[in-house]
Structure 1
Amino acid sequence: MSYSNTTDFTNPSTFILLGIPGLEATHVWISIPFSLIYAMAILGNFTILFIVKTEPSLHEPMYYFLCMLAVTDLFLTTSTLPKMLAIFWFNSREISFSLCLTQLYFIQCFSVIESGIFVAMALDRYVAICHPLRHSTILTNPVVAKISLAVVLRSSVVVLPYPMLVRQWSYCRTNIISHSFCAHMAVVKLACGDTRVSSYYGLFMLFCVLGLDAIFIAVSYMQILRVIFRLPTKEARFKTFLTCGSHICAIVIFYIPTLFSSLMYRFGQNFPLHVHVLIGNMYLVLPPMLNPIIYGVKSKQIRNQLLWLITRKQFKVFS
């Protein structure tokens, strides 16, 4: 199927997603790792939710935020991967203008929610390590609920200008998006006229929202490290640091690809287009797959509960 690169329209009824430009012949093969990633993300995050729900000892702030992270990851992958796989498998490239804006909104919204959850988890670790005797009185269930609500409301509000700005532009060049999903800058680049407002708002979100989140997390961990280094024994320091290890790994996996992908869209014109697209895909699909693995391996409580469930099922099978 061929698509025209030029058309006369102001508000297109549909966009055409190319998938991974330049690698169309290998879409079916590329779909294999993406399918595995999606399956692992679904299985891993549902496992986290099930374990925390069924184990009363895990009903505490850290694991409530972890459940919120799992739900966010499920929504994030489901908002992108099914359409991506439809392109790879069935060459189903069309997406309506409204659905494209909806996808764009949810991708940005859940990404900002995830950043906010990492801030909340950093706050939990800070209180647990720096003020352990007051942890249960500071982070009560109502406080955790308010923090979670604030994270969701903040994201919903600050991301709203993305689709509103995209909707007001005229699209007189083409309706072909050189991507496998409706990435913000990929859509904005199709518009005619001066679209610097959208680009500037994207940078504002990157540095003033995600950037401030990253700074808050860094400050929290600086305070945590000060307390850790004051502990009397090396064993105590190592054990305390391990409680933060999974969180640090998840933060690195989320923030570095996000920053790299966003800056590449604006300043990485020398990179091949398929590299842009692959990196954009990776920053959306890898964290939802890796987060359950990281927390499952690093968290002793989750690991023990998972092993107990596995051995219990095996016992029922052989009994």
Structure 2
Amino acid sequence: MTAHQNGTIATEVSHFLLNCFVRSPSWQLWLSLPLSLLFLLAMGANATLLVTIWLEASLHQPMYYLLSLLSLLDMVLCLTVIPKVLAIFWFDLRAISFSACFLQMFIMNCFFAMESCTFMVMAYDRYVAICHPLRYPSIITDQFVTKAAIFILARNVLFTLPIPILSSRLHYCGRNVIENCICANMSVSRLSYDDITINRLYQFALSWTLLGSDLILIFASYTLILRAMLRLKAEGAVAKALSTCGSHFILILFFSTVLLVFIFTLLVKKKVSPDVPVLLNVLHHVIPAALNPIVYGVRTQEIKQGIQRWLKKGW
């Protein structure tokens, strides 16, 4: 198939090439080891957390079900991005088919939004636990978790599905080198000679609508939690409340800090290397995933004891 552009004929490309740090080849060498270690840590720690919650009857509670969902999302995001990046580093396998590229694009956008939504539900869980402790067992039930999971899945699939669809409908002629390690929407869409205004606007509006609303609700939940903690006068009540929501707050900091740094580097991209936003985008798919289960495992006594019992049984 051919397309005309400025009087010339260009053949539609059959696949894409991921241009992953080719301007900084030394980055590939130095990043491959820590990236592979982070990937193994993320997969191992999340798998351990999931198995522990599944095997330990004492952890069959709504809060830990939500944590299991977060671990599953982290594992899928890692598997979608990191193995391909490492294959590029080690074997120069830069080619990626159209279907694989747009599938990766969908999973990254959808699961990233699902993770943000899960944090929002977890913030509500902590709000009810601290501000309405007596009503907690009747509000945060297994049925609530099921409905929340359905909402998280339906909302984010529905709103993120147009992103790869809009991108896949563009015509790609002549240019097929993606200046990125992953099939990010705008990195791919820029290769087309078609007008990508709709793609750009939809991505921008969706990001601020979904992530923005989640962050606002998370901020509101923690504002109410802080206000409730300041009113607690019983000895040790504040410390207990902080312990209850501390792990979750740390996870949100991991999630939002890397994201904010990534956005900041995009805003000042003329002053930093083009590879820096690409690097941050890759790290954002593995660093929170590696740290999330460790934080909960270290800070949550029930999970720590569950892992210890599971390991003893294994030996």
The TM-score with structure 2 as length reference comes to: 0.92
TM-fit CA distance, 1:173: 5.4
How far 1:311 moved relative to its partner? 4.7
Compared with structure 1, are the counterparts of its residues 236 and 269 closer, same or farther at alpha carbon in structure 2 (3 Å cutoff)?
A: same
Asked if 2 retains the 8 angstrom alpha-carbon contact of 1:77 and 1:284, the reply is yes
Aligned to 2:187: 186
1:138-149 pair list within 5 angstroms:
138-149=139-150
| 1:106–1:11 distance in 2 versus 1, CA, 3 Å | farther
CA distance in 2, matches of 1:46, 1:9: 47
Residue in 1 aligned with 2:310?
309
Q: Which residue of 2 aligns with 1:256?
A: 257
Q: Cα distance, 1:181 vs. partner?
A: 1.3
Q: Name the SS for the 1:15 alignment partner.
A: strand
2:16 alignment partner, SS class:
strand
Deviation, structure 1 residue 252: 1.4
| Identity value in percent | 37
- Equivalent in the alignment of 1:100: 101
Superimposed CA distance per residue, residues 282-303 of structure 1 (whole angstroms, 9 cap, x where no aligned partner) = 1111111111111111111111
Residue of structure 2 in register with 1:218 after alignment: 219
Is 1:208 aligned with 2:205? no
Q: How is 1:48-197 mapped onto 2 (pairs within 5 angstroms)?
A: 48-172=49-173, 174-197=175-198
TM-score if structure 1 supplies the norm length? 0.91
Structure 1: gaps of 5 or more residues:
1-6
What are the ranges of 5 or more consecutive residues in structure 2 without an aligned counterpart? Answer: 1-7
Bigger drift between 269-278 and 256-265 goes to 256-265
Q: CA deviation at 1:26?
A: 4.4
Contact 1:41 1:74 in 2 (8 A): yes
Which range is displaced more, 144-153 or 235-244? Answer: 235-244
Whole-angstrom distance in 2 between the partners of 1:299 and 1:9 = 59
- Who is 1:287 aligned against? 288
Match of 2:199 in 1: 198
Q: CA RMSD in A?
A: 1.9
Distance 2:122 2:12 in 1: 42
Query: Contact 1:21–1:274 (CA<8 Å) still a contact in 2?
Result: no
Q: What is the number of equivalent residue pairs in this alignment?
A: 308
- SS of alignment partner, residue 284 of structure 2: helix
Cα offset for 1:20? 1.8
Report Cα offsets for 1:178-230 as digits up to 9, x if no partner. Answer: 11111122112222243122122121122111010000011011111111111
CA offset at residue 83 of structure 1?
0.8
SS at 1:279's partner residue?
Answer: helix
CA distance in 2, matches of 1:260, 1:205: 19
In the TM superposition, what is the alpha-carbon distance from 1:140 to its structure 2 partner? Answer: 1.7
SS of 1:132's equivalent? coil
Q: Quick one: distance in 2 between partners of 1:93 and 1:259?
A: 28
Structure 1 residue 141: Cα displacement: 1.2
Residue of structure 1 in register with 2:269 after alignment = 268
Aligned counterparts of 1:262 and 1:119: Cα–Cα separation in 2: 20
The 5 A counterparts of 1:234-249 are 235-249=236-250
C-alpha distance 268-173 of structure 1, shift in aligned 2 (>3 A): farther
Q: Amino acid of the residue matched to residue 291 of structure 2?
A: L
- The residue that corresponds to 1:38 in the other structure is 39
Measured in 2, the distance between the counterparts of 1:159 and 1:139 equals 28
